Structure 1
């Protein structure tokens, strides 16, 4: 800041006004300071933090920083006291040249939250450049015949400073022959003339030496000098003259090479060779000007010689000398002032400074993404620039200062929809025709954990055979997360629960990374038919998100239980029983009944009975019901039959391999008169109970068959309606199709009413298996037992015989069955 002069009262008043001026400037959106050029390092410029309303303690946490485009590190801020000071040498002439205004534009950026301030520091000129003449010595030739008051133009000095520091005054050393005439033209430029005040006599004074001193108006004053050597010539006493001393010309900066600038026409009053004129550029003309213009020495035409650029230089002054061919030669002088007219030949320049990349997808609206600055080297309307963005991007430009913009968020972001945006900023000037330029930047959207892992289905059905090895892989769950990186890293775990007195984790486990589900111990269908639990999938985001999927694990039965004889009935658990039979019984008389059960289910629990060979003619005398276990006579008894019969009954299930059990029946043939009373009474009671049981079974079978037939008819009608509604999916309808399995002993099914599908062969999957009670009469009077047909595809355990309601589907003759989730890739298993 400039020093304050005057009395103490004046200084106090100015000091009181400074805070109000700083407050007014901060309120207007920009701070203004001033600093003299060539100020020393550390020179105080202003209390920038205080003027911006920022606390000193928050400068470092909020990342307070100062940026200046193309200005390097001339100014710096002390973060301890918030003072803006001079950091390196400031040369106003290097920054702004001869421009009247010279300022350093600073951008003050503060994060958390982001704020951008603009500070303008005016660089004040000091008198640090002395006046400089084009040359230090100049030689002028004067004829002795020159008239009094003859004038010779001199090239003035130049001063790189501005204002009063560049206001020059001239003084010529004392001479009896010459004095200095300084004229100021309408453009505030000075013309110097050396005027002859006394006639010259070459014989008395052949040379005159003068010293021309130029003094600027700065404080302290600086001076420059040039030595002038005047040589007095004889003979040719008339010099060429121009119609005017100054010619003013305007040219467009895009003027083509060779364009005529001006045609000079000087005249000389002499005759002969003394009046022949040759034109040339003065030695004072700079080399730059010589590259831009050329003069024809004979015609006096000045034409352009090189490309002109208004942005490099706006005006040229050309000193021209017209010399005659006399001896000695005499010359006249004129000046051509060439001003260039700007055209729109510079495209705007766009600069993008990224601040907050990548952008979080949950960034608030109005968040500043980047800073954009534009410039145009043209002037006037050609240098006025407007900015626009590519359409359909969630950003907009907000003007913060002249030619400065902020790229801010205008609408919500979603990385899962668009992960990257290409933002193109177009800067267009207002010239005619308009010129434009673009700058692009890629705005990456950073992921936040806003998507939970998702399973393809909320529930999966898995079928596992019992007696699996410990650690067997039974299923793989898989969840996807739409997020990225750690937010999409999914881990799996069991949702712990109790199954009776045991924890779920004692039965199954899940691999945290792969999602593979393992059975930790062999599963037993007879203990656990259905294991239903949940698996949780959670991502690694903060906070973590998760979801659950339900697994229904059905334990399929294997034939691992042999038939077991019941402890009640005609044949007990001991496997051996004695029975008395009267010789008077007729064919088909029920002697005894073998009853057995199988802990397995389905086909593995379907039992058949057969009579093994034994001594005597027992095979022809007795038979056993294939599925009832009733031992009956095949004919009437006669005297030839052995008194004691030993029958061995083999009970076999239909598993693979089949498991068996045996029962021994000892039959004693007696005459009616030989039967003990107690035994006869017992036999009669047993026979009565068996007959009653047979009657009850017959009625029960008839009732079940009637209900099953009605159910079959209903399901067939429902299936027909469903298939007619969706003719393209006849094999496996969209509803709950019915699969009916039949054999010689009846028809049956199993219905889970769940989502698992059961399909056979190559057709579409079927969902349920319906079962019906046996439809064949199996009374004691049956002539023979019927075997299941060989082409039967499915067999299962009838409902009236089954003890456990389990199911098993099997296709005979090395067929296939299909169980499990229709989405599973492993849905066919060969039994």
Structure 2
């Protein structure tokens, strides 16, 4: 016995591995628990087998709340996952006979289950259930077999029956009776009949081809109406249940005289086939009987049997004179596939005789049912980054027809990124067939088409809406890669400068943007200390007042970041140019007044008209028109003796000095700029006219006529400087043109790497003209750093000046610059620079 059990387990395991066995759990008496435990052991070994079908066997009439089995354990699902994965039952039936206890995963009975109501006389009663598990979607097929219990006794439609038999009936004549009906099946169904004790009749039970048992009363001895007119017999029907149940009918046999021949049918059973779409009035078949009697005793009329079902009478009619059976009602193969009934032929004798025969009419199926598409689970929204093969919905198709008419093909359009994956028994999974993009299509209306294989083919359609969920897969995009903003210096803090704008084609929080300023600027000062950006709308505000003379340009890196997970971002550059305001007065750098408030100059009394006494030189920290300077003589001891050049500041004699002119002359010279409002300053010059004073250099006019070596040297330096600047300008312009053509960077040369230490990394070259002064300006250095410069200058008094190179100097403080200059020389070289690096070659 032990070896047989071991071999049994091995056979079951092999069958499970091959996927050709159903796992069945039956509710059996205690004596078979060992076998059930063995089944459960084998099931636990292969509980994860994909596609396995679970089958339970329960008796009918179980009490509500009875446990069928632990469905969660049988499908390999943990108790903790029942609620999370939404275990539920999807049934085609409108009545839910079962439910799942989400606390322990048990399948329980919801209400009374009557096998006879569900399956009628079918030998097998299976209730298919579809078990759906979501997150992710899985589908299991559960078959519950309802076993019959002996809850119905055999029953006759009537309690009393009258049978008329002519006394001339021959011994052995058979008279069929009404069959008892037992709604139970199998061993609990009708098994036998029993007849009460009597001296004239015995019982015979005839079994038809369909298994139906028909009791027949057989005359065992000749009847004599004069001796006994009525025979009362009790017919008992017994089933095979335990205990046995029974039903009875009282039969009264009335013995009639004469007419001793009954009609006889040509066939004991008739068979015919009829299309379910047969029109009304169509003939199905004709039954025929004969009677050996003559006259009225031989005239035959045809009728349905006494116990003919109502559905037969509603669908068919028999002609009483001809025996022709015709269609009078709608035939539906899906409701009734086979009609079985009795016909009888009666003569007109007295007493009348009758003969009996059975008729079996098979209905032939026609393709008259449209395929039905059933969504086992509603379509789930799918993320746009879902992998190929993700299950979206579970679909079932069915057709009430049979054969080829019930074979259904389900298709969808190939233009959708979805496909159907067959499962089993007309079940499909709707899965993704390619990658999705919500920005291209946010939802799909998928048209399902089901068509059968009948002739002609019938079709049905259903539209399934699938929504695509957004994923943060698109970074924000600015309206342009860089922006240019202009702001006047000395503007009050808090001024709104500009609004940057970015967009994100994602959805919801993935498209909500926040703006921020990245601290990537130089000068070791974060940009956030100068500017503030509204994180919601991208408006940039100034947080301080700016000085053009210190800083002319800010380059701000603005970042737009979405609220996705993980967040995505992109950057744009905002160039903030500071516009100059005339906020600086001219500063006199020669003659120097560092040793006092008045500058002292000497001149000979022999000076002629046009004699250059001195030259006032001033500079303005502003730029452009605001730095253009104009000189005028505001006050003088003798205004007729001296004049000041409007543009150069040269102080010359208007006439020759006479003996009568005062030897001490005081001049008040005013210097104005060209800004709005005008800024001005003054310088006082005391001139001492001396006799016998000789100048260290020759007359100005002689210098202009007779070139010397110094003038030639200046010209050479000027040519070299101009050639160098021109070459550098050309190279710089060419580099900018190449970078602009690439389109990936700004055309303004700027520092891109904080580790790069080139002091000339912000290089700009321009040719400026400020009034009569012409110069080439080379700008460079960090916008936020203290700039340094190398200046190459020619003295304003070109006839006396040398080309002088001055060391790098910071121009933050004008006083420091003035202290460097040599005030004792009228033609000495000097420089003055603003915040940027400037290399100027001044031309007179």
Normalising by the smaller structure, the TM-score range is 0.7 to 0.9
Q: Of the candidates 172, 177, 181, which is equivalent to residue 195 of structure 2?
A: 172
Q: Of the candidates 656, 660, 671, which is equivalent to residue 651 of structure 1?
A: 671
The 1-side partners of 2:732 and 2:45 are apart by 88
SS at match of 1:337: strand
Equivalent residues of 1:584, 1:637 under 8 A apart: yes
Equivalent residues of 1:746, 1:774 under 8 A apart: no
Query: What are the residue-to-residue correspondences of 1:470-549 with 2, within 5 Å?
Result: 470-496=493-519, 500=523, 503-549=526-572
Task: Call closer, same or farther: CA 1:752–1:340 in 2, change over 3 Å.
Answer: farther
SS at match of 2:510: helix
Equivalent residues of 2:200, 2:222 under 8 A apart: yes
Residues 62-99 of structure 1: CA deviation (Å, up to 9, x unaligned): 55555444275434455666554444322222333333
Equivalent residues of 1:353, 1:372 under 8 A apart: yes
Show the counterpart of 1:593.
615
The 1-side partners of 2:74 and 2:684 are apart by 114
Query: What are the residue-to-residue correspondences of 1:14-413 with 2, within 5 Å?
Result: 14=35, 17-19=38-40, 22=43, 26=47, 27=49, 29-56=52-79, 59=82, 63-70=86-93, 72-77=95-100, 83-109=106-132, 116-144=139-167, 146-197=169-220, 207-232=230-255, 239-272=262-295, 275-324=298-347, 330-354=353-377, 357-413=380-436
SS at match of 2:117: helix
Task: Call closer, same or farther: CA 1:442–1:481 in 2, change over 3 Å.
Answer: same
The 1-side partners of 2:777 and 2:299 are apart by 131
The 2-side partners of 1:235 and 1:188 are apart by 36
SS at match of 2:247: strand
Task: Call closer, same or farther: CA 1:697–1:410 in 2, change over 3 Å.
Answer: farther
**TM-score (norm: length of structure 2):** 0.75
The 2-side partners of 1:391 and 1:556 are apart by 63
The 1-side partners of 2:452 and 2:45 are apart by 32
The 2-side partners of 1:715 and 1:501 are apart by 30
Show the counterpart of 2:647.
627
Deviation at 1:216, TM superposition (A): 2.0
Show the counterpart of 2:588.
565
Task: Call closer, same or farther: CA 1:287–1:708 in 2, change over 3 Å.
Answer: farther
Task: Call closer, same or farther: CA 1:15–1:317 in 2, change over 3 Å.
Answer: closer
The 1-side partners of 2:241 and 2:505 are apart by 73
Once structures 1 and 2 are overlaid, which stretch shifts more, 287-296 or 452-461?
Answer: 452-461
Task: Call closer, same or farther: CA 1:114–1:687 in 2, change over 3 Å.
Answer: farther
Deviation at 1:250, TM superposition (A): 1.0
Task: Call closer, same or farther: CA 1:50–1:644 in 2, change over 3 Å.
Answer: closer
User: Across the two proteins, how many residue pairs are aligned to each other?
Assistant: 750
Task: Call closer, same or farther: CA 1:321–1:778 in 2, change over 3 Å.
Answer: farther
Q: Of the candidates 630, 651, 656, which is equivalent to residue 608 of structure 1?
A: 630
Equivalent residues of 2:551, 2:836 under 8 A apart: no
Residues 772-813 of structure 1: CA deviation (Å, up to 9, x unaligned): 9999x98689xxxxxxxxxxxxxxxxxx997338799xxxxx
**TM-score (norm: length of structure 1):** 0.76
The 2-side partners of 1:52 and 1:265 are apart by 61
The 2-side partners of 1:24 and 1:251 are apart by 52
Deviation at 1:632, TM superposition (A): 1.9
SS at match of 1:559: coil
Equivalent residues of 2:374, 2:396 under 8 A apart: yes
The 1-side partners of 2:373 and 2:346 are apart by 53
Deviation at 1:518, TM superposition (A): 0.6
The 1-side partners of 2:255 and 2:507 are apart by 93
Show the counterpart of 2:691.
672
Equivalent residues of 2:551, 2:835 under 8 A apart: no
SS at match of 1:182: strand
Task: Call closer, same or farther: CA 1:734–1:18 in 2, change over 3 Å.
Answer: closer
Show the counterpart of 2:833.
803
Deviation at 1:615, TM superposition (A): 7.7
Equivalent residues of 1:698, 1:779 under 8 A apart: no
Equivalent residues of 2:299, 2:348 under 8 A apart: yes
The 1-side partners of 2:780 and 2:452 are apart by 75
SS at match of 2:491: coil
CA RMSD across the alignment:
4.7
Unmatched tracts of structure 2, length 5 or more: 1-25, 741-746, 750-762, 782-790, 801-829, 839-844
Residues 523-550 of structure 1: CA deviation (Å, up to 9, x unaligned): 1112222223323332222333334333
Deviation at 1:698, TM superposition (A): 10
Equivalent residues of 1:630, 1:780 under 8 A apart: no
Residues 281-334 of structure 1: CA deviation (Å, up to 9, x unaligned): 344222222221123344332211222111111111233344445566554443
Equivalent residues of 2:624, 2:770 under 8 A apart: no
Show the counterpart of 2:681.
661
The 2-side partners of 1:717 and 1:12 are apart by 98
SS at match of 2:265: coil
The 2-side partners of 1:745 and 1:203 are apart by 165
Residues 446-474 of structure 1: CA deviation (Å, up to 9, x unaligned): 23334433434444333221111211111
Task: Call closer, same or farther: CA 1:234–1:25 in 2, change over 3 Å.
Answer: farther
Show the counterpart of 1:445.
468
Task: Call closer, same or farther: CA 1:696–1:349 in 2, change over 3 Å.
Answer: farther
The 2-side partners of 1:477 and 1:445 are apart by 31
Deviation at 1:336, TM superposition (A): 2.1
The 2-side partners of 1:573 and 1:467 are apart by 33
